[in-house]
Amino acid sequence: MLHYSYYPFKNDLEKIDGNDLALLNDISEGWYIDYKSQGLKIVDYAKHISAFANQYGGWLIIGVREKTDNSRTAGEFIGIDDVDKILTDLREAASSHVSPEILYEEKVVKGNIDEISLKEGKSIIIVGIPRSLNTPHIHSSGRIYRRLADQSKPKEETDRFILDDLWERGQDHNKSIIEFLTDIPSLPNKASKNKILHIFFKPNTAQASPQNILQFDEFAEIVTNQKNSVNGTHAPLTAISTAPHGYIARQIEKNDPSSICLTIRWWHNGSVRFDIPLNSYDFTSFEDISGNYKYALEYLQQARKDGYTDIDIVDYSNMIQVVSALSNSYIHMLKKVNDKRDLFSCFTLRNIFHTSPFVDTKKFINKVSKYSLPITLEDKISIPKKPTENNMYRHFFNERIGFHGSESEQHSYCYSFSAVVFLNILISVGLVNNYDDFVEDIEIYGFN
């Protein structure tokens, strides 16, 4: 259940019964409660839920008629019968008629209930709206609404002081997100110059979080895959430990465990960070391993032709396989705790100043021959630079509903899930120019 400034019931939301609803006979409509005898227009739902979210949070109770004695308490539980339509309208109101969208939860209580004389076939819909941190929530009309004690309807807000306060609340929320998503780990001295990719995935805070917490044994089973429970592409991580508010798993086999290794950092709020060391070489060492690539020698030949003699080469050829493998583990974690929220993603590349990116494709070599080597002139690239839920890429939950299919289906899905992140990385270092270039090479990068 979400956190509320005011909670009118004895039982948790999912267990509310007739006795809980009977408590409303003594609770007046006001700051935290609004009774509606029937459904509303979608834009009116948006007014009410945005007003509660912008103020202290509250409860919209649908199917209840107020008493006529001016007490404004619940009088008659007449119920409604068009439940599905109202629930659909509420979802559209919260997502499409308010910006940013609003977090809420709902409970349908069905009759026959003697305690409140709710008839068979009738239902009461309880909508809980917590006080939002991501304010101000702006109605599709362009207005900002707040809940006021003496208003049975939300009131348009025109007070500059109040508007500034709402804006500051939202700014503080965004600041906390930015700080979290740009807090990349310090590097040990021996790895201070290593090229590293950090990818964050963060669930949507405007959607209800799951009730379950991923247990350590469940996390370990997913990242090691010792029981073969994870289909599709997978990167086994064997060094596992607890961490503040979550867990860490690292790939130390065939690596120096005291350095930066392939890592998943999981937080119990559903967020995750991938730490991916990037392979980099000088000209001599790259030439020594050129037999592992189809086009390495052609790349070096073009580099020398252009006059490059001393530059680090960063290999991005296998990065999509690594990203998709870690994404696969992450999505299994979300499924384990039944997390149905959308996700936002961002990334940071570090220590890449004056490096040249490389991918082992003929098209890349042709591009290098025509335009010379791409050179990265930033030491750190963060996309977006100040990540918030308003500017990060959104991965919708509906897109991963069919995730757990056959081995080949899951393998393909992991690539598709990672594609947007991978595309933006390629663009940021000059490996592709735009989405169309990426689509043309879609099979080269493992998508089919």
291 pLDDT exceeds 70? yes
User: Do 124 and 200 belong to one domain?
Assistant: no
pLDDT at 350: 96
78, part of any domain: yes
User: Do 199 and 134 belong to one domain?
Assistant: no
Question: In which band, very low, low, confident or very high, does the pLDDT at 363 lie, cut at 50, 70 and 90?
Answer: confident
Tokens of 294: 């189809």
Tell me how many domains the chain contains. Answer: 2
User: Do 122 and 198 belong to one domain?
Assistant: no
Query: Strands 380-383, 312-315: parallel, antiparallel or unpaired by DSSP?
Result: unpaired
265, part of any domain: no
Alpha carbons within 13 angstroms on the beta-carbon side of residue 218 total: 15
User: Do 172 and 308 belong to one domain?
Assistant: no
446 pLDDT exceeds 50? no
Per mean pLDDT, which range of 315-319, 377-381, 405-409 is the poorest?
405-409
Question: In which band, very low, low, confident or very high, does the pLDDT at 277 lie, cut at 50, 70 and 90?
Answer: very high
Question: In which band, very low, low, confident or very high, does the pLDDT at 264 lie, cut at 50, 70 and 90?
Answer: very high
User: Do 76 and 198 belong to one domain?
Assistant: no
Residue 288: C-alpha distances to residues 6, 281, 284, 293 (Å): 68, 10, 6, 11
Q: What is the mean pLDDT of residues 9-14?
A: 92
448 pLDDT exceeds 50? no
User: Do 133 and 20 belong to one domain?
Assistant: yes
Tokens of 331: 């999505």
Give the span between the Cα atoms of 232 and 414, in whole angstroms.
8
For residue 82, the domain's CATH number is 3.30.950
Question: In which band, very low, low, confident or very high, does the pLDDT at 441 lie, cut at 50, 70 and 90?
Answer: low
pLDDT at 46: 96
User: Do 332 and 199 belong to one domain?
Assistant: yes
3, part of any domain: no
420, part of any domain: yes
21 neighbors 109 (Cβ within 8 angstroms): yes
Per DSSP, 189 falls in state: G
Model pLDDT for residues 166-216, shown as the tens digit of each residue: 999 999 989 999 999 999 988 888 888 899 999 999 998 878 888 899 999
Model pLDDT for residues 365-376, shown as the tens digit of each residue: 988 999 999 999
- Count of C-beta atoms within a 10 Å radius of residue 267: 17
143, part of any domain: yes
437 pLDDT exceeds 80? no
Count, residues in the chain? 448
Nearest-10 Cα torsion for 438, 439, 444, 445:
60
Question: In which band, very low, low, confident or very high, does the pLDDT at 408 lie, cut at 50, 70 and 90?
Answer: low
Strand partners, 262: 251
User: Do 200 and 124 belong to one domain?
Assistant: no
447 pLDDT exceeds 50? no
Model pLDDT for residues 243-257, shown as the tens digit of each residue: 999 999 999 987 777
Model pLDDT for residues 60-71, shown as the tens digit of each residue: 999 999 998 889
If phi over 0 gives left and psi between -120 and 50 gives alpha, with beta otherwise, what is residue 206? alpha
405 neighbors 413 (Cβ within 8 angstroms): yes
User: Do 360 and 420 belong to one domain?
Assistant: yes
User: Do 29 and 171 belong to one domain?
Assistant: yes
User: Do 395 and 292 belong to one domain?
Assistant: yes
Percent of the chain scoring above 70 in pLDDT: 94
Tokens of 187: 């590097």
Residue 153, domain extent: 13-177
Q: What is the mean pLDDT of residues 376-390?
A: 93
Model pLDDT for residues 101-144, shown as the tens digit of each residue: 898 999 999 999 999 999 999 999 999 999 999 999 999 999 99
188, part of any domain: no
Provide the b/e sequence for 129-138 (b: ≥16 CB within 10 Å). Answer: bbbbebbbbb
Percent of the chain scoring above 90 in pLDDT: 67
Give the span between the Cα atoms of 321 and 336, in whole angstroms.
23
415, part of any domain: yes
236, part of any domain: no
User: Do 199 and 164 belong to one domain?
Assistant: no
